[in-house]
Amino acid sequence: MRPTRRVDGVIGFIALAILGTALYAFLFEPNAVRSRNLTLYFPDLPASADGLCIAHISDLHLRRIGARERAVLRIINGSVPDVIVITGDFVSDQRYRNVSLAFLSKLRARLGVWAVQGNWEHNTGWTGNPLRDDLGKLGIRLLINEAEPLELNGSSIWIAGTDDPYLGADRVPDTLNATDGGFTVLLAHSPEILNRLPKGVQLVLSGHTHGGQVRLPLIGAPWARSMGGGYVSGLHRREGTVLYVTNGVGMTVVPARFLCPPEVAYITLRRGNP
């Protein structure tokens, strides 16, 4: 074989590999929604909350109800959780707020749905009372630096939510004031909140980073570390607090995902030692 043919073959192989990777990243993986199941143990969890199942979604960035969004609905409504939490970034453009509301109206949970706002709510102007009113009509409670009790057979846990830490809008003392040391699940759009939490918050659920969205073999997504205080995806622990950062559902900047599929996280709380 002539050297030129060998070189041409290598170039052709590389071109096909690049094309195949691009097709996968732009067309397949963005719609390959996975269900991720975690069981977390807490010694101070009230007995009435033992086994509580929380479905966590984030960063929807909705523009339409397509294959990806229908997959999310199939996962959640196919195994109805006790609680659904949404950690911000419903849309990237306020023109799609009605699409977002149509999607959210289809979510089903036994005990309720709670949400916090992210940086894109602030960017688009769909924030504060207008967002609270729109979500409230669907039975979704928007938490902005506040907490609400979830009553469970005579005892309760707290669902708390801050405004977006990425924009510095969180007010942690105000958020936790009502909880009075009770078991708390804290919703915050950006996981950097973990770096400034006091002790006593048992679980934090966040998004914002999209898990990196595009992750490279061996090195992951180093560009995402600065977005969330060093927490890109998955489970993290700090001074007794457990943080879970979801990959989220939607995308921004580039409409692609690679080695970082969209997800619905199912988190089951159990009473006991980790």
Domain boundaries along the sequence of the chain: 32-271
Amino acid at 43: P
**C-alpha dihedral (7, 8, 14, 16), degrees to nearest 10:** -160
pTM: 0.94
Q: Of the candidates 176, 174, 171, which has an alpha carbon nearest to the alpha carbon of residue 160?
A: 176
Q: Is the pLDDT of residue 6 over 70?
A: no
Given this model, what pLDDT does residue 7 score?
A: 58
Given this model, what pLDDT does residue 180 score?
A: 86
Residue with tokens 């809008």: 169
CA 26 → CA 30, 63, 252, distances in Å? 7, 16, 12
Q: Of the candidates 87, 90, 93, which has an alpha carbon nearest to the alpha carbon of residue 101?
A: 90
Spell out a b/e string for 226-251, using b for 16 or more CB atoms within 10 Å of the CB, else e: ebbbebbbeebeeeebbbbbbbbbbb
Pairing of strands 146-152, 140-142: unpaired
Q: Residues 39-64: pLDDT tens digits? A: 999 999 999 999 999 999 999 999 99
CA 185 to chain centre: 14
Average per-residue pLDDT in the chain?
A: 93
| 12: confidence class by pLDDT, cuts 50, 70, 90 | low
* Conformation bin of residue 45: beta by default, left when phi > 0, alpha when psi is -120 to 50: beta
Dmax (CA) for the chain in angstroms is 81
Domain 32-271 has what CATH class?
A: alpha beta
Given this model, what pLDDT does residue 4 score?
A: 64
* Conformation bin of residue 117: beta by default, left when phi > 0, alpha when psi is -120 to 50: beta
Pairing of strands 112-116, 140-142: parallel
Strand-by-strand arrangement of the 83-87 sheet: 34-42, 263-271, 53-57, 83-87, 112-116, 140-142
